[in-house]
Amino acid sequence: MSGTFLGMPAFPRNAEKALADSQLRFNLRKATHTIRGRRASVVEELPDWQGLRAAGKAIKDDTLRNLERHLLQAERMVTEAGGHVHWAADAEEANRIVADLVRATGQTEVVKVKSMATQEIGLNEALAAEGVTAYETDLAELIVQLGDDWPSHILVPAIHRNRSEIREIFLDHMGEWGRPAPANLTDEPKTLAEAARLHLRERFLSTKVGVSGANFLIAETGTLVVLESEGNGRMCLTLPETLISVVGIEKILPTWRDLEVFLQLLPRSSTGERMNPYTSMWTGAAEGQEFHLVLLDNGRTDVLADEVGRQALRCIRCSACLNVCPVYERVGGHAYGSVYPGPIGAILTPQLRGMGSELDASLPYASSLCGACYDVCPVAIDIPEVLVHLRAKAPHRPAERLGLKAASWVLDRPARLRRVQRLASRFRGLVPKRSLPGPGAAWTQTRDVPSVPEESFRDWWDRTEGGAR
Amino acid sequence: MSSRDVILARVRAAVAGSAPVGEAARAYRAPDGGAADLELFAERVRDYRAVVHVVPDDEVPAAVAAALAARGARRVVVPAGLPEEWLAALPGLERLVDDPPLAASALDAADGVLSACAAGVAETGTIVLDAGPGQGRRALTLLPDYHLCVVRAAQVVASVPDAVARLDPVRPLTWISGPSATSDIELNRVEGVHGPRTLEVIVAEPGTRTS
Ligand code: SF4
């Protein structure tokens, strides 16, 4: 994955840092709650949402189970329509393919439309090493790029920045990348959007190479589909003479008709709109453009090989699971140390990268297993199920394993819980202020130890008969 | 072994032994092919803060002229194949024609673009362009800051499945739901970033005005 994230410390340490940042938590909470409400109201509007969700799941299961056939068909259709298809086994190969294609055009600049896949492979950094500058054109990506920052949300990568921070980033850094921000820039969202429009306009009109990902690739027809809001996607897909799209092999939909499901599921789940402002679809070399499709594996076939974990590949990156996650809301996207944050990141990243590093092995624990993510997921990925499955596979120190066993033993039985609570209350003076020792440490590194009440809730209830006395 | 062969072999190995998966069940509303609710279409397009006029067929020329006049648009991109009668009330209009192809800078400097469309979707308030007659290549409806689009009643379908069934994937398609917008600043929807910042739609109903 992206070099940006190499050497990241483990989730609990990241989370502890993020928890201390109250601005971040405030921005995140406000944003995720807004979008949650919007999603709920447009989902309720559709009488057949659960039917669509079931179909979305079933279509993606077909994609994955019959992936070889669908990939070969997609390749044939794109090629017949005048496009070129390349296969990349890993990030390095994908980056080299794209760099070579750009070099062949003689250009040293490319415009980019937001794409998780190109972030995952660290394409911008790889291109920079070859002397090619990649300009991000999504407003949020622009904020992240100008601020020399990391994305923290799938859909709204700068969700951790508020308007006054964005204004400062624009004033300080736009000039380094092109047209500077107007000196009298305010923090009105409209004015900030206008500054981005002016900053990028000239670039769109003159850049000869565009780089994108895709939301869907239709095997039956070879059609690529990109959903977006601002029109920067249309600019990058339409105006350049050469277009290069880097697409994960799991992005396939078997048939054209399948779009009728996903064009309903995705916008409502992600931005909470009936439809996003713009969706572009093209097949092969559209309108005389030179078109290259780079099909990316980079660990996906490892995920596919795990019968339980495989469902993570159904993900359509809507980000609904992030917005409802109590852990994400408190720690933000950066703590996950990957381009895929939140519940989906907690199951996708360790599978894509393997659980060799401390960070990746800690990700399956970045959840309270509350199940809210599963309920909102438009393709019904059972994230808690995969988390538990990965926890069993993760390399543990024996003490940690013991701690986990002890925890489940306690939480399993209400009577035991009561005994432990009483016990804790008797030893109240012995509980360290900040963190638990031994196996409990991993848990408390990210959470304040709740102060132990003198009397547990259950004891109080029994003694007072529910507060009546 | 090429990377293509490597990836395909890995895919094969990964799913070998998994139970077969058949075609997906579709327990949701199918395309109904019936007439769509024009009022709903207009309302849903308006929800995106686009300007919408519903007029009888024979009043389209007057509505086009009024919209362009209100906007102060004098130099307007006119894609090939646009019905000539839509411009009947505008003999003095300076038309920018894409033959030979207009430079991006010329499109950028235009006051607006007048186009037809391929389909409308009532439930989502979406207009679909397919680069067909009266629409032209995709850049024509992207670079001008003002997009005036005429939708005929018969082009409006009820739902997304109806639209998908009607469209041809071989053509480049652009689904448009309101003006360009972003929610990237504290998740407030702000209209107008890179695409046309103003979208105005004229829905043409069959017949003449009866009142
Ligand atoms: S896991 Fe489900 S809810 Fe989360 S981003 Fe993917 S599709 Fe959306």
* ipTM for the assembly: 0.96
On the question of pLDDT at A264 being above 70, the answer is yes
pLDDT at A19: 62
The CA radius of gyration of chain A, in Å to the nearest whole number, is 24
Mutate to test the pocket of ligand 1, among A215, A318, A339 (most ligand atoms within 8 A of CB): A318
Strand duo A109-112 + A84-88: pairing: unpaired
Q: At what angle do helices A67-80 and A49-65 cross, to 10 degrees?
A: 90
Q: What is the pLDDT of residue A236?
A: 97
| pLDDT tens column, A44-59 | 999 999 999 999 999 9
Tokens of A462: 């029994």
3-state SS of B2-40? Answer: CHHHHHHHHHHHHHCCCCCCCCCCCCCCCCCCCCCCHHH
Q: Is B22 part of any domain?
A: no
Which parts of chain B register pLDDT below 50? 211
Residue identifier of the C-alpha nearest atom 7 of ligand 1: A315
B1 at A interface, C-beta within 8 A: no
Domain-embedded: residue B10: no
**Phi, psi torsion values for A48, nearest 5 degrees:** -115, 30
Distance CA A246, CA A103 (A): 16
Start-to-end C-alpha separation, chain B: 75
Q: For residue A17, what pLDDT is reported?
A: 63
Tokens matching residue B171: 């053509």
The answer to whether position B137 is within a domain reads yes
**Cβ B142 vs Cβ B196: under 8 Å:** yes
Residues 6 or more apart from B67 whose CB is under 8 A from it?
B51, B53, B148, B200, B202
Task: Decide: helix, strand or coil at residue A113.
Answer: coil
Q: Where are the alpha helices (DSSP H) in A178-231?
A: 189-206
Find, among B116, B109, B85, B79, the residue nearest to B97 by Cα. B79
Which strands sit side by side in the sheet containing A209-212, from one edge to the other? A84-88, A290-296, A242-248, A209-212, A109-112, A133-136
pLDDT digits (tens, 9 = 90+) for A5-52: 444 556 666 666 666 667 777 878 888 888 899 999 999 999 999 999
Provide the β-strand partners of residue A278. Answer: A228, B176
Q: How far is the CA of A323 from the centre of ligand 1 (A)?
A: 10
The pTM of this model reads: 0.86
**Cβ-proximal residues to B7 (8 Å cutoff; 6+ apart), any chain:** A71, A87, A89, A249, A295, A297, A301
Q: What letter would DSSP give residue B37?
A: -
- Whole-angstrom distance, CA of residue A132 vs CA of residue A461: 67
For the purposes of burial, counting CB atoms within 10 Å of the CB of B165, is it exposed (0-12), middle (13-18) or buried (19 or more)?
A: middle
CB distance B101 to B132 below 8 Å: no
Q: Return the structure tokens found at A40.
A: 């709920």
Residue-range domain boundaries for chain A: 3-300, 407-468
Ligand 1 contact, A39 CB (< 6 A): no
A316 Cβ below 6 A of ligand 1: yes
Please state which CATH class domain A3-300 belongs to.
alpha beta
Residues 141-160 of B with CB under 8 A from A: 142, 160
What is the Cα–Cα distance from A45 to A52, expressed in whole angstroms? 13
In whole angstroms, give the CA distance from residue A407 to residue B107: 65
Give the residue, by CA position, lying nearest to ligand 1 atom 3. Answer: A377
User: What tens digit of pLDDT does each residue of A401-438 get?
Assistant: 444 443 443 344 344 434 434 333 333 333 333 333 33
**Cβ-Cβ contacts under 8 Å, B26 against chain A:** 51, 55, 261
Looking at residue A159, the DSSP 8-state letter turns out to be T
Residue B20 lies in a domain: no
User: Is B23 in CB contact (< 8 Å) with chain A?
Assistant: yes
Q: How many domains does chain B have?
A: 1
A321 lines ligand 1 (CB under 6 A): yes
pLDDT in tens, A453-467: 444 444 544 555 544
CATH number where B184 lies: 3.40.50.10420
Minimum distance, in Å, between the CA of residue A354 and any CA atom of chain B: 16
Residues A359, A4 contacting (CB under 8 angstroms): no
Residue B210 lies in a domain: no
Residue with tokens 């991006």: B104
Rounded-to-integer distance, Cα A436 and Cα A459, Å: 24
Residue A172 pLDDT more than 70?
yes
Model pLDDT, residue A159: 76
Best CA proximity match to A130, nearest among A90, A99, A98, A93: A99
Residue pair A29/A238 in contact by the 8 Å Cβ criterion: no
Three-state DSSP class for residue A294: strand
- CA–CA distance, A362 with A12 (Å, rounded to integer): 8
B193 is a domain residue: yes
Q: Is B55 a domain residue?
A: yes
What's the length of chain A? Answer: 469
* Residue numbers of the domain that contains B195: 32-205
